[in-house]
């Protein structure tokens, strides 16, 4: 999942410093401040939509793409850029196409096997530079265009961000060379618009105060506003460029099994299997309302552990585990301890249940509890409030802690890979002319990662009192190497500012 730090924070800091005579503003402040470079476009050159050749994009073909399982911590699919095949993480929590280059500093294995721009006849450098921040670390990128091909689908001049420098521990032994964002297409444009409007308000407020803005700071503000104008006009969303309406994701339930992403999938309403509709509340994320998180035991007894007043959740194929607030994760750990939960007797473990987007969701024990191996990178350990994973007798609670991060719908939750192992999930991007996403549709998945037939034993529409009949497929608890985990971006930015879904 990708995260962008709001520009107003660094600007406000600089403004306050500029208005206080006793505080000297270092000439090097901007270059050394981590948030200042979050969307720093060093060279500004407007790229008009007509130059991208998007009308020539080959779209509309239904294509089932097989995804390789990377130790149950991520899934990758093959894409081609400029004729070079790369493994990409297909990430509903980010928005752009980010490609690791062979000349990248700090990119580890992702760079060594990455994209070589000199070997592509269709590659064209752009004029922009920005820093993109993920939960796993930061990347410094320059913009470019090249031919993107995914099976039978293609975009002749797909905008992309080429990573020139990175600080991501996960890249040391990475099995991917690209991150393909599948978040809402309007997200970057809306964020850029909001940033530009915020900067304008700040500038107007300073003028109203009669404050003298230092020339260097004024130049920076103006450059940021021009940069945001560029981002507002840059059509870099792959789903939008492919004019895609429906996209579906499913990961096999068995340990080590493959995943699938269906490009240009059928409309859920046209299928024989009854799908359930999750109402999306997000505009810049695949965000949903979440309520009443609880553990449900086999005898039907239920224990609420969080979100009685509501929370906000994001469906994210780029995050390895389910993630939730500290209070709820701690409550789950204590409740399991009180129950005497025994991982050696998996059939006795409770299920995780909650309301998501207006529908009741049930996740099996292997979605939130299992075994941990490997060593977590030292910088990541600092991001956890508990010692990384709560111990539950012989195993651990496989949930990542989002701390006290908030959304405009309540505490932040991330529904990572375990959600897609249970549910065949269809994302509705809406009509291309509408300019906004619609809803998410789900159906329990069968063992082959297809929507379960109505008479399938996998179909879980049974009441809680019949809970012993739930989920006839008995999936073993997973063993996760924590050094390979992909973290949600908010692990690295636990602020009091609510996230706008």
CB-count burial class (<10 Å; 0-12, 13-18, 19+) for 431: exposed
229: CATH: 2.40.70
Distance between CA 33 and CA 25 in Å, rounded?
Answer: 12
Q: Is the pLDDT reported for residue 193 higher than 80?
A: no
pLDDT at 26: 28
pLDDT at 213: 62
Pair 128, 177 in one domain: yes
Alpha-helical regions (H) of 141-250: 187-209, 215-232, 238-241
Q: For residue 315, what pLDDT band results from cuts at 50, 70 and 90?
A: very high
Pair 317, 442 in one domain: yes
* Cβ atoms of 437 and 428 closer than 8 Å: yes
Look at residues 236, 260, 281 and tell me which one is the last residue of a structural domain: 236
Pair 391, 474 in one domain: yes
- Sign for the CA dihedral angle at 405, 407, 412, 417 comes to negative
Q: Is residue 195 part of a domain?
A: yes
- 409-432 pLDDT, tens digit per residue, is 889 999 999 999 999 999 999 886
Pair 277, 140 in one domain: no
Q: Which residues pair with 276 in a beta bridge?
A: 442
Alpha-helical regions (H) of 102-186: 108-112
Pair 369, 448 in one domain: yes
Pair 182, 301 in one domain: no
Q: Is residue 453 part of a domain?
A: yes
Pair 334, 408 in one domain: yes
Alpha-helical regions (H) of 33-107: none
Distance between CA 493 and CA 36 in Å, rounded?
Answer: 14
Q: How does 383-414 read in b/e, with b if 16+ C-beta sit within 10 Å? A: bbeeebbbebeebbbbbbbbbebbbebbbbbb
Pair 304, 177 in one domain: no
Look at residues 182, 215, 236 and tell me which one is the last residue of a structural domain: 236
Enclosing domain of residue 462: 269-492
Q: Tell me how far CA of residue 117 lies from CA of 106, 191, 226, in angstroms.
A: 18, 29, 27
Pair 426, 467 in one domain: yes
Residue percentage of the chain with pLDDT more than 90:
40
Mean pLDDT check: name the lowest of 230-244, 327-341, 350-364: 230-244
Give the residue carrying structure tokens 């239904």: 62
pLDDT at 65: 97
Pair 222, 297 in one domain: no
Look at residues 236, 258, 281 and tell me which one is the last residue of a structural domain: 236
Mean pLDDT of the 314-322 span: 93
- 431-454 pLDDT, tens digit per residue, is 866 666 789 999 999 999 999 987
Joined together, the tokens standing for residue 222 give 């103006």
| Number of compact structural domains in the chain | 2
Pair 326, 231 in one domain: no
* Cβ atoms of 66 and 260 closer than 8 Å: yes
């Amino acid at each position: 999942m990708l995260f962008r730090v709001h520009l107003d924070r660094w600007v406000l800091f600089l403004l306050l410093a500029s208005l206080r005579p006793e505080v000297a503003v270092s000439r090097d402040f901007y270059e050394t401040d981590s948030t200042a470079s979050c969307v720093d476009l060093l060279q500004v050159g407007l790229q008009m939509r007509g130059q991208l050749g998007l009308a020539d994009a080959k779209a509309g073909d239904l294509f089932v793409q097989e995804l390789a399982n990377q130790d149950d911590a991520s899934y990758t699919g093959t894409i081609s850029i400029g004729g070079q095949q790369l493994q990409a993480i297909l990430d509903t929590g980010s928005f752009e196409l980010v490609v690791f280059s062979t000349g990248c500093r700090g990119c580890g294995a992702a760079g060594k096997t990455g994209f070589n721009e000199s070997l592509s006849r269709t590659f064209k450098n752009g004029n922009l530079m920005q820093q993109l921040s993920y939960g796993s670390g930061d990347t410094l990128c320059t913009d470019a265009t090249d031919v993107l091909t995914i099976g039978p689908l293609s975009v002749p001049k797909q905008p992309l961000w080429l990573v020139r420098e990175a600080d991501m521990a996960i890249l040391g032994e990475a099995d991917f060379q690209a991150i393909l964002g599948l978040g809402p297409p309007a997200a970057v444009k809306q964020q850029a618009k909001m940033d530009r409007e915020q900067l304008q308000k700040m500038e107007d407020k300073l003028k109203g105060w009669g404050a003298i803005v230092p020339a260097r700071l004024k130049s920076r503000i103006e450059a940021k506003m021009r940069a945001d104008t560029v981002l507002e006009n840059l059509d870099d969303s792959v789903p939008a460029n492919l004019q895609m309406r429906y996209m579906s994701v499913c990961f096999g339930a068995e340990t080590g099994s493959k995943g699938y992403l269906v490009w240009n999938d059928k409309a859920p309403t046209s299928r024989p299997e009854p799908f359930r509709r999750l109402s999306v509340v997000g505009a810049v994320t695949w965000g949903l309302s979440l309520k009443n998180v609880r553990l449900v035991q086999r005898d039907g007894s239920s224990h609420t552990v969080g979100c009685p007043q509501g929370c906000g959740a994001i469906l994210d194929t780029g995050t390895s585990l389910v993630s939730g607030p500290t209070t709820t994760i701690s409550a789950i750990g204590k409740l399991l301890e009180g129950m005497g939960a025994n991982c050696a007797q998996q059939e006795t473990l409770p299920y995780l249940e909650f309301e998501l987007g207006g529908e009741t969701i049930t996740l099996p024990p292997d979605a939130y509890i299992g075994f941990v191996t490997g060593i977590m990178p030292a910088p990541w350990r600092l991001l956890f409030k508990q010692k990384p994973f709560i111990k539950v007798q012989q195993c651990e609670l496989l949930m990542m802690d989002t701390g006290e991060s908030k959304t405009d719908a309540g505490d932040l939750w991330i529904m990572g890979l375990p959600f897609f192992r249970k549910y065949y999930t269809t994302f509705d991007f809406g009509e291309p002319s509408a300019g906004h996403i619609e809803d998410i549709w789900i159906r329990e998945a069968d063992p082959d990662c297809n929507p379960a037939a109505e008479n399938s034993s996998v179909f879980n529409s049974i009441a809680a009192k019949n809970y012993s009949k739930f989920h006839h497929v008995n999936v073993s608890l997973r063993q996760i190497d924590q050094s390979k985990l992909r973290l949600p971006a908010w692990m690295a930015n636990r602020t009091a500012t609510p996230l706008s879904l």
